[in-house]
Amino acid sequence: MERILIYIKHNLRFLWKLIELSNGLLFAVFFEKKLYRYLHEVFTEFALPPYDYRVLHDSEAKDLFNLIEQQDISDLEHFKPHEFDLRSIMKQFQNRALLMMGVFDQDKLIGYFFLRFFINRKCFVGRIIDRSYRGKGIGINMNRIMYEISWRMEFRCLSTISLNNKNVLKAHANNQAMNVIRKLPNDYLLVEFLREGSNK
């Protein structure tokens, strides 16, 4: 199933949009209340001052646009959860199965991370951090928040990682939660993040 969805996302854009629309509506009906019950709990438990981790709002679309614009092209080569023009970013806030989150240094958005839920109880995660804020443990805390929300929702927590993305491979080198499921076309890996004690 994951292989099919990934193929559709990258090759059949019209069909992908229909899937996203239908999935978002169904997710809202069956899971949205449960999601928002866990959000405050997880963000409180994994608070890490001086940075503020929280859900993004549509009024912050320009901040996200600016964050993406300021990153090197090489950092975005394998990070393509959606289009990054301002209009496309605004549209993402309408997708009720996409939880868009940010990390702030006071009023400055310095990181973007997300969970893309599917009604078959699978969730894809991803993140990007402003280059000047890397190496401060921000990404590790982003991971904790993404994983915990997914696990508490009882969703499988998944991601795709390019074998050509050396920075991400290095970042996950000691990630005890990560389990490689299989290799995908175009040198990608499908991985799952498992809670400690889960069977791999």
Q: What type of residue sits at position 148?
A: E
Q: How far apart are CA 134 and CA 156, in angstroms?
A: 27
Share of the chain above pLDDT 70, in %: 95
Q: How far apart are CA 42 and CA 142, in angstroms?
A: 11
Burial profile 137-164: b = 16 or more Cβ within 10 angstroms, e = fewer = ebbebbbbbbbbbbbbbebbbbbbbbee
Is 3 a residue whose pLDDT tops 70? no
Query: Mean pLDDT in the chain?
Result: 91
Is 71 a residue whose pLDDT tops 70? yes
Q: What type of residue sits at position 115?
A: L
Is 199 a residue whose pLDDT tops 80? no
Q: What is the pLDDT of residue 78?
A: 83
The model's pLDDT over 80-134, given as tens digits with 9 standing for 90+, comes to 889 899 999 999 999 999 999 999 999 999 999 999 999 999 999 999 999 999 9
How big is the chain, counted in residues? 200
Q: Which domains does the chain have, with CATH numbers?
A: 2-157 (3.40.630.30)
